[in-house]
Amino acid sequence: MPTLTSRAKQVDRRPMSLAEKLYLPAIFKGMAITMIHVFKKKATINYPEQKRPFSPVFRGLHILNRDEEGRERCTACGLCAVACPAEAITMEGAERQPGEEHLYREEKYAAKYEINMLRCIFCGLCEEACPKDAIYLSETFAPSNFNRASFIYGKEELRIPHPKEDPEGYKKALGNRAKK
């Protein structure tokens, strides 16, 4: 009789023995496999309570950096957007006004800065391209969400906490960079 695949198996139609009818050998075999795995090292962890250590080259969620005074470093030069192979970055530049020196480090700043996390491939080229150390990829995951619009991260989501107002948050966001 022709078969569809070479993996077809002949069904065993012999009458079952008494032990097979009681299912006992199969149950004991299953229990033995379970007991072996109880004492084995677990392959899974209790995420999010437990987390695996990141690789030193892990690239996670972007952070828009500030300097030690808390001023935004980004000058809206656009180099990160040009370097981005996924065209995920958009921005609008603005000129710093007198009295805003404590907010922005240089004369020009990004009034709007957005990254579309659905486009981003976390390649890190934006970080490489930035001459101002204004953007970097942190050790944080991009959180999941239910609608597409929520994946467009603006300045509010990307900006690092203020080093003077929230020193703990600032240090945490810096991660390994704080130790450099």
130 binds ligand SF4 (CB under 6 A): yes
Least distance from C-beta 131 to ligand SF4, angstroms?
6
Contacts of 84 (CB under 8 A, 6+ apart): 120, 125, 126
Strand-pairing partners, residue 135, are 64
Task: Burial-class residue 36 by CB neighbours within 10 Å (0-12, 13-18, 19+).
Answer: exposed
Single out the residue of 135, 158, 160, 173 in contact with ligand SF4 (rule: CB under 6 A): 135
Site for ligand SF4 in 29-68 (CB under 6 A): none
CB of 92 to ligand SF4, least distance (A): 11
Interface pattern 70-109 for ligand SF4 (x via CB under 6 A): ----xxxxxxx--xxxx-xx-x------------------
**CA dihedral sign of residues 88, 92, 95, 96:** negative
Min. distance of Cβ 20 from ligand SF4 in angstroms? 58
How many alpha carbons lie under 13 Å from residue 177 in its C-beta half-sphere? 19
Contact 127, 57 (CB under 8 A): no
Can you give the binding site for ligand SF4, defined by CB under 6 A? 74-80, 83-86, 88-89, 91, 110, 115, 120-126, 129-130, 132, 134-135
